[in-house]
Amino acid sequence: MTTPESKAQAGEDVSPATQVKQALAGFMSDLGEFQNDIHRKLEKQEDRLKMLTKSKLTRPALSAAPVEAPHQKAFNAYLRTGDDDGLRGLEMEEKALAVSGDGGYLVDPVTAGVINSTLASTASIRAIASVVNVDATSYDVLLDHGDIGAGWATEASTIAETSTPQIDRISIALHELSALPKASQRLLDDTAFDIDGWLAARISDKFARAEADAFINGDGVDKPRGCLDHTIVDNDVWAWDELGYVASGADGNVTADAIVDVVYALGAQYRANATFVMNSKVAGVVRKLKDADGRFLWADGLAAGEPARLMGYPVLIAEDMPDPASGSNSIAFGDFAAGYTVAERPDLRVLRDPFSAKPHVLFYATKRVGGDVSDFAAIKILKFAVS
């Protein structure tokens, strides 16, 4: 190759412009070769990726139908046919369901979740009470409702002994709640029948209605003790182990002044989280009440799902509360998270019985639950009476 230097050595006269032109041409030639080399390497890389993709096994298409988890499939087979082989296999692997001591199987987590969510959303005291899960047969609440004594003293004065707080133990026993829905074997043999959904709906409806009534009116005998089952006395003479009431000022009816009175009969430490509890008939009476300026005390929720409010406090419509009548304890007001405790075992058991009601199959579902007042100062009652 002839270069400017060789030409100069040969005696040729090369101008600077010619030298620059020749150098630029050499640079462009080198750049072209570099680009071609890059393109060749990219093509080889792409060919390699294509070969790797073709060599992979084809992945099977996903089914549009939902795939049942092993415990769901086994539990579904048990409900339909009584075949518990799948459940026993799961027990050996310690994955899901377990046999209860008195027969039957624990409901799979999906079904149990549906039932628990239904119970929690039902209009009952459970929705606003304190709910705890226990593994024992009872749940003890320790409550310090006294006060420590105090006094003023000087440096030289004798300090007298002060009073000590009083701690009470409230024991909440757990009781068995049961439901016994049934279905025909022909219906269970139909694979289109959603046995899990049907069973959850029937059990949750039965349990929810039974619990809602017991948490308000239960006598504590083989069932939770309701808040209205305790002794209810005039709030002016209220003492522990009793619930205080405020008179409504009208026999079998209620006045706006009484609503104000029951609000301020409750201690200030409870009012921040307080809720009114009444049934629909009482709510129809209360929402007509007006203050001295003609404004309604009742205000409907502004957003979807927001509870109505009475004097700024939420209202729970619980149909098991008493209807308006002479001397009825038709309205409760208080901080139920502090005042009422629901204790329950988290598991739900189902026993399949294909023999007792042929050609139907019975499903005996049980759970253990208890409830009682845990703080008697946190709940006040509005009694529909003059005094």
Per DSSP, which regions of the chain are E strands? 105-106, 130-133, 138-144, 167-173, 175-179, 182-184, 232-234, 243-247, 249-250, 253-254, 275-278, 298-299, 309-310, 313-317, 331-334, 340-344, 349-353, 360-373, 379-383
Mean pLDDT of 204-227: 92
Whether residue 152 lies inside any domain: the answer is no
- Are 194 and 88 contained in the same domain? yes
State which of 7-16, 98-107, 176-185, 332-341 shows the largest mean pLDDT. Answer: 332-341
- Are 79 and 215 contained in the same domain? yes
Whether residue 235 lies inside any domain: the answer is yes
Determine the Cα–Cα distance for residues 212 and 118; give it in Å rounded to an integer. 12
**45 against 4, higher pLDDT:** 45
Determine the Cα–Cα distance for residues 169 and 161; give it in Å rounded to an integer. 25
Whether residue 323 lies inside any domain: the answer is yes
Q: What tokens appear for 56 in the block?
A: 């992979």
**135 against 189, higher pLDDT:** 135
- Of 330, 240, 228, nearest to 276 (Cα)? 330
Residues in a beta bridge with 144: 167
Q: Residue 37: pLDDT band by 50, 70, 90 thresholds? A: confident
Buried b / exposed e across 350-370, counting CB within 10 Å, b at 16+? bbbbeeeeeebbbbbbbbbbb
- Of 383, 384, 131, 124, nearest to 279 (Cα)? 124
Residues in a beta bridge with 296: 290
Burial class (CB in 10 A: 0-12, 13-18, 19+), 248: buried
pLDDT tops 50 at residue 64: no
Determine the Cα–Cα distance for residues 87 and 80; give it in Å rounded to an integer. 13
**71 against 199, higher pLDDT:** 199
Backbone phi, psi, residue 367, to 5°: -150, 160
pLDDT tops 60 at residue 6: no
Task: List the CATH number of the domain containing 379.
Answer: 3.30.2320
Task: List the CATH number of the domain containing 105.
Answer: 3.30.2400
Cβ(107)–Cβ(349) under 8 Å?
A: yes
- Are 314 and 252 contained in the same domain? yes
Task: State the pLDDT at residue 12.
Answer: 53
Mean pLDDT of 314-337: 96
Domains in the chain, number: 2
- Are 203 and 268 contained in the same domain? no
Proportion of the chain above pLDDT 90, given as a percent = 41
Task: State the pLDDT at residue 62.
Answer: 47
- Are 194 and 294 contained in the same domain? no
- Are 277 and 203 contained in the same domain? no
- Are 258 and 316 contained in the same domain? yes
Burial class (CB in 10 A: 0-12, 13-18, 19+), 21: exposed
- In the DSSP assignment, the letter for residue 228 is G
| C-alpha dihedral (267, 271, 273, 274), degrees to nearest 10 | 100
* Residue range of the domain that includes 239: 228-339+375-383
Q: Residue 214: pLDDT band by 50, 70, 90 thresholds? A: very high
Amino acid present at 299 = A
Q: What tokens appear for 127 in the block?
A: 């929705």
Amino acid present at 224 = P
Q: What tokens appear for 213 in the block?
A: 């009534």
The helix-helix angle for 195-217 and 109-121 (nearest 10°) equals 40
